[in-house]
Amino acid sequence: MSRKERRLAARNARRARGTAGGAGTKDTAKLLEAATASHKSGDLARAADIYQELLSVDPDHADALNRFGLLVYQAGQPQAALGILARALQARPGFTEAHYNMALALIALGRRAEALTNAAAAAKPDSAPAQACNLLGSLLLDLGRLQEAEAALRRALDRMPEMVSALTNYARCLHLRGAVAEAERVYLTALSHDPASFEAHINLGALLADYGKLDLAADHYRRAIEIRPDHPAPYNNLGIVLQSQGHYIGAIDQYDTALAHEPANASAASNRLYCLHFDPRFDPDSIAEAHRRWAAGLESRVARLPDPDTHPDPERRLRLGYVSPDLRGHPVAYFLEGAFAHRDRDAFEVTCYATGPMADAVTERFRAQSDHWRPAAGLADDALADLIRADGIDILVDLSGHTSKHRLGVFARKPAPVQASYIGYFNTTGLSAMDYLIAGPLGVKPGTEGRYSEEIWRLPRGHATYRPADDCPDIDPTPPVVRTGAVTFGCFNKAAKLHPGVAALWARVLDAVPDSRLVLKSHGLDEGASRDHYLEIFASAGIDPARLDLRGASVHRAYLDSCNDIDIALDPFPHNGGTTTLDMLWMGVPVVSLAGETMVARCGAEILHAIGCDDLIADDPDAYVERAASLAADPDRLAAYRGGLRARMAAAPICDHAAFARDLDEAYRGMWRRWCADAGARAAAPALPWQEVRL
The residues near 366 (Cβ < 8 Å, ≥ 6 apart) are 327, 333, 337, 340, 352, 373
CA 501, 506, 512: angle at the middle one, nearest 5? 140
345: three-class secondary structure by DSSP = coil
Nearest C-alpha neighbor of 437 from the set 468, 402, 467: 402
Question: Does residue 359 register a pLDDT over 70?
Answer: yes
- 495 neighbors 615 (Cβ within 8 angstroms): no
- pTM of the entire predicted model: 0.86
Identify the architecture of domain 283-453+661-680 in CATH. Answer: 3-Layer(aba) Sandwich (3.40)
Task: Give the pLDDT of residue 520.
Answer: 97
The stretch 410-418 carries a mean pLDDT of 97
What tens digit of pLDDT does each residue of 8-54 get?
A: 444 444 444 443 344 456 588 899 999 999 999 989 999 999 999 99
Q: Which residues, at least 6 apart from 610, have a Cβ–Cβ distance to it below 8 Å?
A: 440, 461, 462, 652, 653, 654
pLDDT band at 689; cut points 50, 70, 90: very low
Spacing of C-alpha 646 from chain mean position: 32
Residue 528: band (very low, low, confident or very high) from pLDDT cuts 50, 70, 90:
confident
Amino acid at 465: T
**CA–CA distance from 589 to each of 489, 492, 507 (Å)?**
10, 12, 20
644-672 confidence digits (pLDDT tens)? 999 999 999 999 999 999 999 999 999 99
Is the model's pLDDT at 634 over the cut of 80? yes
> For residues 17 and 11, what is the distance between their CA atoms, to the nearest angstrom?
10
Task: Measure the CA–CA gap between 62 and 87, rounded to whole angstroms.
Answer: 8
Contact 613/542 with Cβ under 8 angstroms? Answer: no
Q: What is the pLDDT of residue 16?
A: 44
Strands (E) across 325-446 are located at: 348-354, 372-375, 395-398, 418-421, 436-439
CA dihedral sign, ordered 389, 394, 397, 401: positive
SS3 294: helix
pLDDT of residue 690 exceeding 90, the answer is no
Q: pLDDT tens across 99-121, in order?
A: 999 999 999 988 888 999 999 99
110: left (phi over 0), alpha (psi -120 to 50) or beta: left
Q: Nearest Cα to 500, choosing from 248, 272, 240, 251?
A: 248
User: What percentage of the chain has pLDDT greater than the value 90?
Assistant: 80
Per-position b or e across 236-267, b if 16+ CB within 10 A of its CB: bbbbbbbbbbbbbeebbebbebbbebbeebbb
Q: What pLDDT, on a 0 to 100 scale, did the predictor assign at position 687?
A: 52
Residues pairing with 372 in the sheet: 351
For residue 6, the one-letter residue type is R
Q: What is the pLDDT of residues 603-616, one digit of tens each?
A: 999 999 999 999 99
- H/E segment holding residue 340: helix 331-341
pLDDT band at 319 (very low <50, low <70, confident <90, very high): very high
Question: Is the confidence at residue 246, as pLDDT, over 70?
Answer: yes
Q: Is the peptide bond prior to 572 cis by the omega test (within 30 degrees of 0)?
A: no
Angle at 526 between CA 525 and CA 527, to 5 degrees: 90
**What is d(CA 367, CA 378) in angstroms, rounded to the nearest whole number?**
18
**Mean residue pLDDT across the chain:** 91
Write the DSSP assignment of 450-467 as a string of letters. GG-SSEEEE-SS-S----
99 vs 114: CA distance, rounded Å: 11
Give the C-alpha separation, 139 to 187, whole Å. 19
Tell me how far apart the alpha carbons of residues 337 and 469 are, in angstroms, rounded to a whole number.
12
692 has a pLDDT exceeding 60: no
Q: What DSSP string runs through 2-37?
A: -HHHHHHHHHHHHHHHT--HHHHHHHHHHHHHHHHH
What are the strands of the beta sheet with 568-570, ordered from one edge? 548-551, 517-521, 488-491, 568-570, 591-594, 617-618
- Give the mean model confidence (pLDDT) for residues 433-437: 98
> Residue 48 phi/psi, 5° resolution?
-60, -40
- Examine the pLDDT at 537 and tell me if it is beyond 70: yes
Q: What is the pLDDT of residue 643?
A: 93
Q: What would the DSSP string read from start to end of 535-603?
A: HHHHHHTT--GGGEEEE----HHHHHHHGGG-SEEE--SSS--SHHHHHHHHTT--EEEE--SSGGGSH
pLDDT confidence band for 529 (50 / 70 / 90): confident
Judge whether 464 and 656 are in contact, CB under 8 Å: no
pLDDT of residue 377: 87
pLDDT tier, 269 (very low <50, low <70, confident <90, very high otherwise)? very high
Given a contact cutoff of 8 angstroms between Cβ atoms, the answer to whether 226 and 242 are in contact is no
Residue 563, pLDDT > 90, answer yes
283-453+661-680 shares the fold of 3-207: no
For residue range 140-191, what is the model confidence (pLDDT) as tens digits? 998 888 999 999 999 999 999 999 999 999 999 999 988 999 999 999 999 9
Q: 3-207 domain in CATH 1.10.287.3510?
A: no
Residues 6+ apart with CB under 8 A from 543: 503, 506, 507, 510, 518
pLDDT attached to residue 684? 63
Query: d(Cα 187, Cα 267) in Å, to the nearest integer?
Result: 24
Average pLDDT estimate for 355-382: 91
Q: Domain 480-654 falls in which CATH fold?
A: Rossmann fold (3.40.50)
- Give me the pLDDT at residue 24, please: 55
pLDDT at site 279: 87
Q: Tell me how far apart the terminal alpha carbons of the chain are, to the nearest angstrom.
A: 48
Confidence check: pLDDT of 510 > 60 = yes
> Given the DSSP bridges, would you call strands 372-375 and 568-570 parallel, antiparallel or unpaired?
unpaired
pLDDT of residue 694: 36
**pLDDT score of 216:** 94
Question: Which pLDDT belongs to residue 26?
Answer: 59
Concatenating the DSSP letter of every residue in 133-174 gives HHHHHHHHHHTT-HHHHHHHHHHHHHH-TT-HHHHHHHHHHH
In Å, what is the CA distance from 601 to each residue of 136, 486, 572? 45, 29, 9
Task: For the chain, give every domain's residue range.
Answer: 3-207, 283-453+661-680, 480-654
In this predicted structure, what is the pLDDT of residue 10?
Answer: 47
Over range 540-546, report the average pLDDT.
Answer: 94
